[in-house]
Amino acid sequence: MRDSFYVVDSRIQIHDLRPATFVLADSTNQLTLQDIASAKFSDKFKPVSAFNNFKSYTSYWLRLPIATQGSIKNWWLMLRQADKNYYSTNTYEVNYNFVDVYFCNERYQLLSKQLTGLFMPRSQKQIKNTAGINRVLFSGGQGQKQIVYIRIYNEFGFGSAPAYVEIHNPAVPLPAGNRDWLITMMGGIIFFFSLFSFSLFLFVKDKSYLFFGIYTLLTSQIYLTKHSRLPFIDWYIPEHPQWFIGFEAILESGIYIFFLMFGRSFINLPSLSKRTDNFLRVFIAVWIFYTLAQLIVVATSRHYIIPLPYSTLIFTLLAILFVIRFAFFKNIFARLFVIGGLWLLFFTL
């Protein structure tokens, strides 16, 4: 296969490399650079525009023949999603698990290798900040030709969307995600409520404030997992980002568990209905057991028992049933909890 090189002009700040991107699916998850750079695989790469079944594979390779016009030093070579509008402001956050980038010369000899990806430890990345963006550094001299190979490996599931590559002058800032400002603002407000609740608990010693404080604290942290740049990983687990899956499962479960514990304490459920209280305690115990089982399965098999969005939806609906049950108690605190509780569950969901 004769390479047609895409020319990266240093006078142009952003280059969409879709026309120069070719893809090869790796159903074995075992192909190496030596394999895919050999003559055996030279004709098996397809244009990214003609490849539509990324979701069928956990591993695939991209190939990009690039020539440089002018001198380029430490620009960003980053992955984007090809199934969204090019001008959408959140397509930089593709969150592939592991990404290996190999820079080769025209004779397919390795020049350098860089690492990125959502679950790559910070110390192993060339660009260390912003876990939610998959990018490495790109440099090239006048007239230099390079073959860039990119291996994308999604350990925790199949590819979510076709990938393509953009070369970006870091002097041009990346746009924020469409909802990042809202996520940041709401997370901050909820965190303030958690501090306020903990303060009340210290003064009045009412467990309701403690449970509500934990609920709002966990909710504020779940916002960090929904932010497109994933500050949760950068702040808490930069060297162990694979733990993110477990923390997300704990947070998703914890917000509902402590919300129901808050309601149980706030309305003094044991005094209103022993039977409902026993059902609620069993429900919480089952939820905790399921969460622990989920963590074990994810750690050992890299798969969920039930995908997180579905399990969260199931438990949310069950929690709503408990809140509706509370509405039948002829108690002012139960009525107040139902009025606020349904809104909080809707807001959390």
Candidate CATH numbers 3.40.50.2300, 2.60.40.2380, 3.20.180.10, 3.40.50.300; the one for domain 6-168: 2.60.40.2380
pLDDT of residue 90: 45
Give me the residues of the chain with pLDDT under 50, please.
83-90
pLDDT of res. 3 = 67
Owner of token pair 């069950």: 318
* Whether 162 contacts 51, CB under 8 Å: yes
pLDDT of amino acid 85: 42
Integer Cα distance of 33 and 301 in angstroms:
26
> Closest Cα to residue 213, out of 235, 198, 203?
198
- pTM recorded for the entire structure: 0.83
How far apart are alpha carbons 43 and 322 in whole angstroms?
60
Q: Which of 28, 31, 60 is nearest to 46 (CA)?
A: 60
**Rounded to whole angstroms, how far apart are CA atoms 75 and 137?**
6
Pairing of strands 163-168, 6-9: unpaired
Cα 328 to the center of its chain, rounded Å: 40
Write out the residue limits of the CATH 2.60.40.2380 domain(s) in the chain: 6-168
